[in-house]
Structure 1
Amino acid sequence: MLTDDLSRYVALHEAMGFKFRTQRILLRMFVTYAEHHGDGMVKSDRVIAWAIQAPSPEQRRNRLLTVRRFAIAMHAEDPGHEVPAADALGRGLFRRKQPYIYSAEEIEGLMVAAASLGPIGTLRPLTYYTLFGLLAATGMRISEALALRLGDVTDDGLVIASTKFKKSRLVPIHSTTRAAIDRYLSARLSIIGETTALFLSNEGTPPRYDTVSAIFRKISRKIGLRGAPGQPGPRIHDMRHSFAVRSLEQCPCDNDAVSRHILALSTYLGHAHVHDTYWYLQAIPSLMAQIADIAETFDRTGAA
């Protein structure tokens, strides 16, 4: 059955060290769809029919290529599995998603909406309130936040052990952020008791990434940051972009200071290369004003 094939395929990738989170979700959706139609093997027409249900061309192509890689692996074991053509939905060009830079008011709105989640009196609203606040205050990846353990909360900051590039790092945090974590820990321990994960659901298990994403979209729509389901809008990952941009806003308009700040920011964010950090920096009015000031100084004096 396709379910068994998928389990082996996912287990292989996870054993090789891949997180395989998004791929696992998409493939599970496809397998459910295919088996609902009575398929025991991958069929090209079924893959395409499922892929075109996605709301955007980029998501349709991602669905197609994700299942295609699965189909190639299964076809190597049994030629009965069909491999859809890579260009069955056209040839797409990779385009980076335009980051959304949150304002302080929007971050506050997200946190207030998270705190109002139900059921009232449970750990759930406090979990999401603290989780989204931590992402905004530190710029860490959502996968890193969900992987935090109690022992990762230290006097010097947060120890990020499960990183994208398998490198541990220490993330210093502001006293107000630490106070918020301490308040969460107090409530969490009194409601559920001792476990190893920092963030917990009402069931006592760490929240799943897809569940957190769904909650984030729900409250984003509630406060008017997103449109109807299927429409694009600000993402959780944009909190990381926002953190980087707001951080640079605080940097003095000096070439040496900016260079030092970018290097420190790259280390703080856990980037493998400093040039990766520049992708996180977007042109917003305050940064453009700084650039204009530097350009005027250079034009007037010949030195920035």
Structure 2
Amino acid sequence: MNRENLQRGVLAPLIRDFIAMRNNLGYKSQSCKFSLFAFDRVAFGNGLRTIIITAEMATEWCNRRPNEATDTWSHRNCFLRQFAVYLSNLGYETYIPPLVAGPRQDQFVPYIFSDEEIKAIYAACDSLALYDRHARTNIMVLPALIRMRCSTGIRIGEAVNLRINDVNLEQNYLTLRSTKNGTDRLIPFTEAMSDICKQYLKYRKLLPANSDFFFVKLNGCYCRANGFCGWWTKILKIAGIKHRGLIIGPRIHDLRHTFCIKSLAHLLKEGKDLYYILPILSTYLGHKSLASTDRYVRMTSDMYPELLGKTDSICSYIFSELNHQ
């Protein structure tokens, strides 16, 4: 069945305009799109034939459902609230639902790897071996992929989406395209990382030419970003680092947190002026604002209290207190 046929309510054209506006502003709106069109179908089924969102409709939609995760509930409410504000700005009579408290992300503390643990992770990656023939495994990319993430701080999704032409081994930089926040970035890397990439490419050229992605499975096909969980758990076990579960980790994403925090700590130790460095690092990491980079520091304030004091003096006049709702 054509999905467009299901999006037949009176709100559907305005939802399409709203999603288009979000996309033009650089936001990825797939989840928002599905949620709002689901609301439109429910409203149409309940007899809505005029452009309006009533308090009764919004309250019923925003009520938390049995066994629903806080994150899912919060996002569904947020999407409807944003759309209601959009309708109000267009002059339509609409009820704007209040914000609901989302998960308190500031209570989460990422795992920051020590230099010794990073070395152990590298050694673990190099020691991985297959005990049977499995062409769809991504084992071959792990030594280079993990080292690239540790040395550049890029997201796992950004790494697996790299094409061969995006990795410039003559001038040593990566070209990241259509990243999480809808922007492209150039990421420099070291000569040592360049040598590792060249070594990886020597073996990659022996694989079937099924795609032009830089990191591929043994069959030459694309590696999914969520396809490394099993290997990551095994790497931590070999490295002697206790794994406490998918949520608590240490997660593979904590390599990015480690890069950010250790970069700031290194710059601070060298006496660099964080007033100038923090915006540069924020842009380098692909954050939309200084608030995101500042949150990295706050989550690890117990380990690096000197960083929190420094960033406070820079960021306090921009955002006095972070709000994670």
Give TM-score, length-normalised by structure 2. 0.59
Q: Which residue of 1 aligns with 2:201?
A: 185
Q: Deviations over 1:34-86 (max 9, x none)?
A: xxxxxxxxxxxxx846x6xxxxxxxx4346667999xxxxxxxxxxxxxxxxx
Where do residues 256-275 of structure 1 align in structure 2 (5 Å cutoff)? 257-275=273-291
Letter in 2 for 1:159: T
Are residues 1:95 and 2:112 paired? no
The correspondence for 1:212, drawn from 224, 228, 238, is 228
| Residues 212, 18 of structure 1: alpha-carbon distance in 2 compared, 3 angstrom cutoff | farther
Query: Cα gap change, 1:235/1:179 in structure 2, threshold over 3 Å: closer, same or farther?
Result: same
Alignment of 1:194-273 (within 5 A): 195-222=211-238, 223-227=240-244, 229=245, 232-252=248-268, 257-273=273-289
Give, in angstroms, the shift of residue 265 of structure 1: 1.1
- Distance in 1 (CA, whole Å) between partners of 2:290 and 2:305 is 19
**Conserved? CA contact 2:282–2:293, under 8 Å:** yes
Q: Which residue of the partner structure matches residue 113 of structure 1?
A: 124
Separation in structure 2 between the aligned mates of residue 196 and residue 219 of structure 1, nearest angstrom: 27
**Who is 1:125 aligned against?**
139
Pick one of 163, 167, 181 that aligns with 1:153: 167
Distance 1:285-1:230 versus aligned 2 partners, 3 A rule? closer
2:298 is aligned with 1:288: no
**CA separation in 1, counterparts of 2:296 and 2:287?**
11
Q: Cα distance, 1:218 vs. partner?
A: 3.8
TM-score scaled by structure 1?
Answer: 0.63
Question: Is the 8 Å Cα contact of residues 118 and 124 (structure 1) preserved in structure 2?
Answer: no
2:43 paired residue number: none
- Structure 2 letter corresponding to 1:176: A
Q: Could you tell me how far 1:165 is from its partner in structure 2? A: 1.6
1:91 Cα offset (Å): 7.3
Partner Cα distance (1:20, 1:235) in 2:
26
Q: For 1:137-181, what per-residue CA distance to the aligned partner results, in whole angstroms no more than 9, with x for missing partners?
A: 100111111110000011330011121122111101011111111
Quote how far apart the aligned CAs of 1:221 are: 4.2
Deviates more, 1:107-116 or 1:163-172: 107-116
- Judging changes above 3 Å, is the alpha-carbon distance between structure 1 residues 160 and 217 closer, same or farther for their aligned structure 2 residues? same
Cα–Cα, structure 1 residues 48 and 215, in superposed 2: closer, same or farther, change >3 Å?
Answer: farther
- On the 8 A contact 2:301/2:308 being kept in 1, the answer is no
* 1:78-105: CA deviation from partner (whole Å, max 9, x where unpaired): xxxxxxxxxxxx9764333212111122
The number of residues matched between the two structures is 244
CA distance in 2, matches of 1:169, 1:261: 17
Tell me the distance in 2 between the aligned counterparts of 1:258 and 1:114. 34
CA contact (8 A) 1:138 1:243 kept: yes
SS of the residue corresponding to residue 178 of structure 2 reads coil
Q: Measure, in 2, the Cα distance between the counterparts of 1:158 and 1:187.
A: 20
Give yes or no for contact 1:161–1:169 (8 Å, CA) kept in 2: yes
Question: How many Å separate the matches in 1 of 2:154 and 2:185?
Answer: 11
CA contact (8 A) 2:122 2:146 kept: yes
The 1:161–1:289 alpha-carbon spacing in structure 2 relative to 1, beyond 3 Å, is closer
Q: Give the letter aligned to residue 98 of structure 1.
A: V
Specify the code of the residue in structure 1 equivalent to 2:306.
M
Q: Distance in 2 between matches of 1:94 and 1:194?
A: 43
Q: Output the amino acid matched with 1:184.
A: Y
- In the TM superposition, what whole-angstrom CA distance separates every residue of 1:91-146 from its partner, at most 9, and x where no partner exists? 76433321211112222222332331425898843301211111111001111111
Structure with a larger share of its residues in helix: 1
Name the CA distance, whole Å, in 2 between partners of 1:253 and 1:105. Answer: 19
Distance change >3 Å, CA 151–CA 188, structure 1 → 2: same
Secondary structure of residue in 1 paired with 2:174? strand
Q: Secondary structure at the match of 2:186?
A: strand
**Gap change, CA 1:136 and 1:120, over 3 Å in 2:** farther
